Amino acid sequence: MLKKLVRNDYKNVGQSHKPVLAIWGKEDRSVALKVSDDLRTAIPQAQFHIIDDAAHIPFYEHPEIVNPMLIEFLNKN
């Protein structure tokens, strides 16, 4: 049931056609990388980045990688 709700949320965001930045830790055990397949399918406009050697909080674990991505995304959008 939860997976279906998440897919619906992703689909709603995808239909908004608004810019989306998705950053995922490759080693995330809370929300596995495989779940990102649904996100990328439902939100085709998403800029998607996988951060190596990061888990559930890649912005905290690797700010030197994530912060420039955030700044670039915000400046463009």
User: Which pLDDT value is given to residue 4?
Assistant: 62
Contacts of 45 (CB under 8 A, 6+ apart): 14, 17, 18, 19, 20
Residue 1's pLDDT band, with cuts at 50, 70 and 90, is very low
As a whole number, the mean pLDDT across the chain is 91
What tens digit of pLDDT does each residue of 6-29 get? 678 889 999 999 999 999 999 999
pTM of the model: 0.83
pLDDT of 5 over the 70 cut: no
Query: HSE on the CB side for 39, CA within 13 Å?
Result: 16
Say how far residue 49 (Cα) sits from the centre of its chain: 7
User: Which pLDDT value is given to residue 25?
Assistant: 96
Domains and CATH numbers, the chain: 2-76 (3.40.50.1820)
